[in-house]
């Protein structure tokens, strides 16, 4: 029986439209699962390779009767000059193809609209990734409430908001620290650490960001992968700005409880679950540094070598995730030439490609997480209750570092000074030296009073995160509120 036929008379139907980048589609799929667990019928718009990725993690849930289905459309690789099978930013052979990828996603609009036209009942809501503009037009055309799925947090939203209004960054030099005005905490940044949207040299990006602002202002509301207790002051401010239509429903990664699900999240893991757990089980509690820089950062080999040398010198057990894609051959040659794995075999584990991050972080052996401060990773670190070593690379990652180090006080910075530009990584000119990594790792892992207090705060936040998503918790209640708000919309529409 088709899912449409099986829909209960009063059951809500949401159309979920993810975007092709792991940092975006992973939490979107988590959200879809959570919505379905709250009784909403969910249709996920997808394309062939993405169906396989989303399918493997949702299979179990769908088998058990959760009302989720996929709406798969072909992807126009050839038409936009993309390699066959390339549906995600991390699969692009070079960053110059990002625009083509976005165009290929935009070409799904027609097909989605045809699908809606042929339905007996309109979907009650469209939730689309913040970077997709066309769902705004589709929602307007069919008069369906559209919610933006924002892959970031309220702290980031408010940093962007005050910068956009005050333009304070325009009056300072590149590396001159300035305070972001009107925020609940004193947040100091430099212009070189701001997201690309605030770089006047990047006109194309500025125009796109203006469109995103308009798209967001026209949406019914915003769903955020965060929880209120983590950043209450910023949630309140953001709600004021959005007329209350902000729903913090995270941490979304907590919708997976089983190891078998955790290991399948995102992409196929490059390490066998048992091998990974066996290694972790052999380490002392709270002793391991886990170093992973997300799914799309393109760190130069010279910089990765500094990190590797620091992990070796720290004399602590470590997991180092070496992402495949950007100059992999160079870094692999170095690993071979210096016999890095042999040198560190008593305490190091290299994962080449995709690490089962949730599985790793939830293991008691993990004592610290060296992260690039992508929001998903940062929040996953918070959930795990471990302190963070922060090494932001680009976009809003320097904001996340400030949140972690200065507001939540659960992290130590390696001291990165400026954003790295996609496609221009080799021109960045900044190299964080191994001594700086070692210093930050030592601070995070040290057994003295400061380290102990940082660990305690991290653990407390981890507990709060887990509570937020449980029945009665703030995120659980927000999910209920979101569903009620859409029900009210549906009622109003039926009456008019």
Q: Which is nearer to ligand UDP, 32 or 296 (CB)?
A: 296
Question: To the nearest whole angstrom, how small is the minimum distance from the Cβ of residue 286 to ligand UDP?
Answer: 20
Phi, psi of 405 (to 5 degrees): -85, -45
Residues at the site binding ligand UDP, with contacts judged by CB under 6 A: 22-23, 26, 265-266, 292, 294-297, 321, 354-355, 357, 374-377, 380
Which pair of structure tokens corresponds to residue 477? 């209640």
Question: To the nearest whole angstrom, how small is the minimum distance from the Cβ of residue 156 to ligand UDP?
Answer: 11
CB-based burial label for 352 (10 Å; 0-12, 13-18, 19+) = middle
The residue assigned the tokens 């991390």 is: 90
Three-class DSSP category at 130: coil
Q: Which is nearer to ligand UDP, 26 or 438 (CB)?
A: 26
Task: Point out the residue whose Cβ comes nearest to ligand UDP.
Answer: 23
Question: To the nearest whole angstrom, how small is the minimum distance from the Cβ of residue 360 to ligand UDP?
Answer: 9
Give the whole-angstrom CA distance, residue 215 versus residue 408. 31
Nearest to 291, CA basis, from 194, 383, 414: 414
Three-class DSSP category at 75: coil
Q: In sequence order, what are the beta bridge partners of 221?
A: 147
Question: To the nearest whole angstrom, how small is the minimum distance from the Cβ of residue 120 to ligand UDP?
Answer: 36
Give the whole-angstrom CA distance, residue 328 versus residue 300. 9
- Which is it for the CA torsion 109, 145, 58, 265, positive or negative? positive
Nearest to 147, CA basis, from 233, 1, 257, 35: 35
Question: To the nearest whole angstrom, how small is the minimum distance from the Cβ of residue 225 to ligand UDP?
Answer: 9
Question: Would you tell me how many other CB atoms lie within 10 Å of the CB of residue 192?
Answer: 16
Q: Which is nearer to ligand UDP, 296 or 335 (CB)?
A: 296
Q: Which run of H or E residues covers position 178?
A: strand 178-179
Q: Which is nearer to ligand UDP, 13 or 265 (CB)?
A: 265
Nearest to 86, CA basis, from 137, 39, 48, 142: 48
Q: Which is nearer to ligand UDP, 340 or 354 (CB)?
A: 354
Nearest to 390, CA basis, from 376, 408, 407, 402: 402
**End-to-end distance of the chain based on CA atoms, in angstroms?**
32
Q: Which is nearer to ligand UDP, 138 or 378 (CB)?
A: 378
Question: To the nearest whole angstrom, how small is the minimum distance from the Cβ of residue 265 to ligand UDP?
Answer: 6
Q: Which is nearer to ligand UDP, 322 or 464 (CB)?
A: 322
Q: Which is nearer to ligand UDP, 294 or 367 (CB)?
A: 294
Q: Which residues of 110-143 are buried (b: 16+ CB within 10 A; e: fewer)?
A: eebeebbeeeeeebbbbbbbbbbbbbbebbeeee
Question: To the nearest whole angstrom, how small is the minimum distance from the Cβ of residue 26 to ligand UDP?
Answer: 5
Q: Which is nearer to ligand UDP, 135 or 294 (CB)?
A: 294
Which pair of structure tokens corresponds to residue 143? 């008069």
Question: To the nearest whole angstrom, how small is the minimum distance from the Cβ of residue 355 to ligand UDP?
Answer: 4
Question: To the nearest whole angstrom, how small is the minimum distance from the Cβ of residue 197 to ligand UDP?
Answer: 16
Three-class DSSP category at 13: strand
Q: In sequence order, what are the beta bridge partners of 149?
A: 129, 223
Q: Which is nearer to ligand UDP, 271 or 445 (CB)?
A: 271
Question: To the nearest whole angstrom, how small is the minimum distance from the Cβ of residue 280 to ligand UDP?
Answer: 15
| DSSP letter, residue 316 | S
């Amino acid at each position: 029986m088709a899912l449409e036929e099986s829909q209960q008379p009063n059951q809500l139907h949401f159309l979920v439209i993810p975007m092709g980048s792991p940092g975006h589609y992973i939490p979107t799929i988590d959200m879809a699962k959570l919505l379905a667990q709250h009784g909403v019928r969910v249709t996920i718009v997808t394309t062939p390779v993405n169906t396989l990725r989303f399918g493997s993690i949702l299979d179990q849930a769908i088998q058990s009767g959760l009302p989720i289905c996929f709406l798969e459309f072909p992807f126009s690789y050839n038409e936009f000059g993309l390699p066959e099978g390339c549906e995600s930013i991390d699969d692009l052979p070079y960053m110059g193809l990002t625009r083509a990828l976005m165009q290929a996603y935009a070409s799904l609009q027609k097909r989605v609209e045809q699908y809606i036209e042929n339905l007996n009942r309109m979907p009650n809501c469209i939730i689309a990734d913040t970077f997709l503009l066309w769902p705004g037009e589709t929602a307007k055309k069919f008069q369906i409430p559209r919610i933006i799925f924002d892959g970031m947090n309220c702290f980031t939203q408010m940093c962007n908001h005050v910068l956009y209004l005050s333009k304070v960054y325009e009056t300072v030099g590149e590396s001159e620290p300035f305070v972001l005005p009107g925020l609940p905490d004193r947040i100091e940044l430099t212009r070189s650490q701001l997201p690309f949207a605030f770089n006047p040299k990047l006109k194309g990006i500025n125009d796109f960001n203006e469109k995103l602002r308009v798209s967001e202002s026209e949406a019914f509301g915003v769903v955020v992968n965060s929880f209120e207790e983590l950043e209450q002051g910023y949630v309140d401010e953001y709600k004021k700005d959005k007329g209350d239509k902000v729903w913090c429903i995270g941490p979304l990664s907590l919708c997976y409880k089983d190891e078998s699900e955790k290991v399948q999240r995102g992409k196929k893991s490059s390490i066998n679950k048992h091998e990974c757990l066996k290694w972790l089980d052999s380490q002392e509690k709270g002793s391991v540094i886990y170093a992973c820089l997300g799914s799309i950062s393109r760190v130069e080999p010279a910089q990765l070598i500094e990190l590797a040398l620091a992990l070796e010198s720290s004399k602590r057990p470590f997991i180092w995730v070496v992402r495949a894609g950007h100059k992999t051959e160079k870094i692999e040659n170095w690993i071979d030439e210096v016999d890095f794995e042999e040198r560190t075999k008593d305490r190091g584990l290299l994962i080449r490609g995709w690490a089962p991050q949730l599985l790793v972080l939830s293991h008691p052996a993990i004592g610290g997480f060296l992260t690039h401060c992508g929001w998903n990773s940062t929040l996953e670190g918070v959930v795990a209750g471990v302190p963070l070593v922060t090494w932001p690379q680009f976009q809003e990652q320097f904001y996340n570092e400030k949140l972690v180090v200065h507001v939540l006080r659960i992290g130590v910075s390696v001291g990165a000074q400026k954003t790295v530009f996609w496609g221009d990584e080799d021109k960045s000119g900044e190299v964080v030296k191994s001594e700086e990594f070692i210093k930050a790792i030592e601070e995070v892992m040290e057994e003295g009073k400061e380290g102990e207090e940082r660990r305690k705060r991290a653990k407390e936040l981890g507990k709060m995160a887990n509570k937020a998503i449980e029945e009665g918790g703030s995120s659980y209640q927000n999910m209920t509120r979101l569903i009620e708000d859409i029900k009210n919309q549906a009622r109003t529409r039926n009456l008019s």
